[in-house]
Amino acid sequence: MNYITDNPNTTLTDGMHLMVDALKRNGVDTIYGVVGIPVTDLARHAQEVGIRYIGFRHEQSAGNAAAISGYLTKKPGICLTVSAPGFLNGLTALAAATTNGFPMIQISGSSDRNIIDLAQGDYEGLDQMNVAKPFAKAAYRINRPEDIAVGVARAIRTAMSGRPGGVYLDITTAMLSTSMDAQAAADSLFVPVDPAPKQYPCSGSVKRALKLLSSAKKPLIILGKGAAYAQADEQVRTFVEKTGIPFLPMSMAKGLLPDDHPQCAASARSLVLGQADVVMLIGARLNWLLTHGKGKKWNPSVQFIQLDIEPEEMDSNRPIAAPVVGDIESSLDVLIAKMDNFAIQCPKEWRDAIDAVKQTNAVKMQAKLTTPTSPMNYFNALKAVSDVMQDYRDIYVVNEGANALDDTRNVISMYHPRLRLDTGTWGVMGIGMGYAIAAAVTSGKQVIAIEGDSAFGFSGMEVETICRYRLPITIVVLNNGGIYRGNDPNLGGDPDPSPTTLTPDARYDKMMEAFGGVAYHVTTPDEVRTALTAALASKKPSLINCIIDPAVGTESGHIGNLNPKSVASPQPLQGGVTQKA
């Protein structure tokens, strides 16, 4: 139903109704948000016209849901917030979406300009558009109903085009209640044409890239989440398989090609980074996750080819010998069409060397997975999860924590594109429930969220949201009673817990029980297996609280090296505890 066109007797409309009509006209089918003054009626009216509204307990989760729905659908996810505090609660997710390159629009109600601009102290008054600017790809404000169509179109085009990102759209209280002739309002609406146009690379850049690749003795392809976002799955597969070059998937690119693909080098990471002479980055940045392309992890004379839609990304960390600027689908189409003119091959000795390390690391991993411990550790618990998931290879895996993140990434293999959703470029805790909810809502599929106990706490109240919408989400809390570990002492000797300590053996399962979901409390891998099998079969909201040895976590998971070094105490203050097998 369209409010204006379906109500022929209506001669006047207002900003609120027109805003909803503009969103609907632009294909928005879901809004994630938290309501209050001045956007409550907007959400009600959105539901009235058939837009699904998912109401959260905190705006950060609603924002995270919008962001990941943008990643999964290539259309901006919409987050609706109230003024000042609600707006600020959503802003972290908007900033993270921009950092991750996910298309998202945060639409927020705001106070009247005349009071804000003279700092006269409005209810929840804040100069929101200017606050949002540094955290968003762009920030716009709609001051008059007649500008709604353009405002929405600009927000959509900005969020989707080039490198996608988060856009802030400010809608003032005054604008929402300003009236406008209904026919003129209806006539003003439009849908932007081709908001994320194809961008072909120039042919010289393609030839340069193929020539460099053909000169490689130890070539490597790194697939990033930009390649997953591009949804050029067939092109990626064709290029990788036709060249025979090994590939290393970044975390959210796992599954773009299956982890058990013979060319996957994920379990020989140090070898391939340390020795590759030509590395082709496809939708991956040389940021901290790749130690900026330099340092002891890398072959010092490595040369880079980079496929990216963002020209400014080139040379941001290391000189790029062969930049290919374009969208990944178009770039790969051209590369595939031209590659037969170049003798690209992957030397057998290089493939053999990688296979040898893969085998050695597989044996080491198998030993970790099958060594029984009491209490459980991350590896034997995750082995049970992995066993059950062999029957659920096409469900979403949301993952956050430190050890809970890094160990899951390595143990739980991915087989299909865009199913692994995690903490992303910033390593943000709190994405868990928002991502899980949006994955279930946009796809209708099941989701498993594998969470550290600290990580879960950041968005845990959304368990109520999961139960309210009856979503098929199973949460596995790897509960070691703390941030990294649960057994750190308070160095001051005070009775307070240490900075990393959380409640030992906390019963997170009771939270799920409280809202009507199915709950399990487990202490052995066999119990994990039984509980997860039942939870996934039920398709009901469920939470499995897995008690993990509080002593086994490593400080900051795999990124402990990023903690500042102290001159005064060269050893980590907690005594350098490392993970036991």
Contact between residue 554 and residue 560 where contact means Cβ atoms under 8 Å apart? yes
Neighbours of 527 (CB within 10 A): 18
Annotate 357-374 with b (16+ C-beta within 10 A) or e (fewer).
bbeebeeeeeebbeeebe
253 binds ligand ADP (CB under 6 A): yes
452 binds Mg ion (CB under 5 A): yes
Least distance from C-beta 105 to ligand OXT, angstroms?
22
Cα gap 201→359, rounded to integer Å: 38
Least distance from C-beta 536 to Mg ion, angstroms?
23
Q: Which amino acid is at 343?
A: A
Strand 179-181 versus strand 12-14 pairing type: antiparallel
**Token pair belonging to 158:** 């900005």
Residue 374, Cα to own-chain centre: how many angstroms?
33
Choose between 226 and 452: whose C-beta lies nearer to ligand OXT: 452
Residue 24, Cα to own-chain centre: how many angstroms?
25
Binding mask 521-560 for ligand OXT (x = CB under 6 A): --------------------------------x--xxxx-
Choose between 129 and 282: whose C-beta lies nearer to ligand ADP: 282
Least distance from C-beta 367 to ligand OXT, angstroms?
10
Q: How far is CA 476 from CA 259, 275, 451, in A?
A: 22, 37, 6
SS3 per-residue string spanning 287-322: CHHHHHHCCCCCCCCCEEEEEECCHHHCCCCCCCCE
- Among 151, 219, 427, 432, which residue sits at the site for ligand OXT (rule: CB under 6 A)? 427
404 binds ligand OXT (CB under 6 A): yes
453 binds Mg ion (CB under 5 A): yes
- Among 120, 177, 203, 270, which residue sits at the site for ligand OXT (rule: CB under 6 A)? 270
Least distance from C-beta 15 to ligand OXT, angstroms?
35
- Among 158, 380, 480, 498, which residue sits at the site for Mg ion (rule: CB under 5 A)? 480
From 12-20, 80-88, 267-275, 434-442, give the range in contact with ligand OXT by CB under 6 A.
267-275
From 87-95, 103-111, 165-173, 250-258, give the range in contact with ligand ADP by CB under 6 A.
250-258
- Among 191, 202, 362, 514, which residue sits at the site for ligand OXT (rule: CB under 6 A)? 362
Q: Which amino acid is at 420?
A: R
Choose between 49 and 365: whose C-beta lies nearer to ligand OXT: 365
Choose between 424 and 517: whose C-beta lies nearer to ligand ADP: 424
From 254-262, 285-293, 393-401, 514-522, give the range in contact with ligand ADP by CB under 6 A.
285-293
Q: How far is CA 259 from CA 38, 148, 178, 308, 413, in A?
A: 48, 46, 55, 23, 6
Contact between residue 155 and residue 105 where contact means Cβ atoms under 8 Å apart? yes
Site for ligand ADP, residues 189 to 228, rule: CB under 6 A? 224-226
- Among 38, 101, 145, 430, which residue sits at the site for ligand ADP (rule: CB under 6 A)? 101
Could you give the dihedral angle defined by the CA atoms of residues 68, 74, 79 and 84, in that order, rounded to the nearest 10 degrees?
A: 90
Choose between 81 and 100: whose C-beta lies nearer to ligand ADP: 100
365 binds ligand OXT (CB under 6 A): yes
Task: Region of 104 please: left (phi>0), alpha (psi -120 to 50) or beta.
Answer: beta
Residues constituting the chain: 581
Within 13 Å of residue 247, how many CA atoms lie on the same side as its CB?
A: 32
- Identify the DSSP state of 78: E
Can you tell me which residue has the tokens 């070691």?
A: 480
Neighbours of 496 (CB within 10 A): 9
Least distance from C-beta 512 to Mg ion, angstroms?
18
Choose between 424 and 472: whose C-beta lies nearer to ligand OXT: 424
Point out which residues bind ligand OXT (CB under 6 A): 251, 266-271, 289, 361-362, 365, 401-406, 409-410, 423, 427-430, 452-455, 478, 480, 482-484, 553, 556-559
Point out which residues bind ligand ADP (CB under 6 A): 100-101, 163, 224-226, 229-230, 250, 252-253, 283-285, 287, 289, 308-310, 313, 327-328, 425
Point out which residues bind Mg ion (CB under 5 A): 452-453, 480
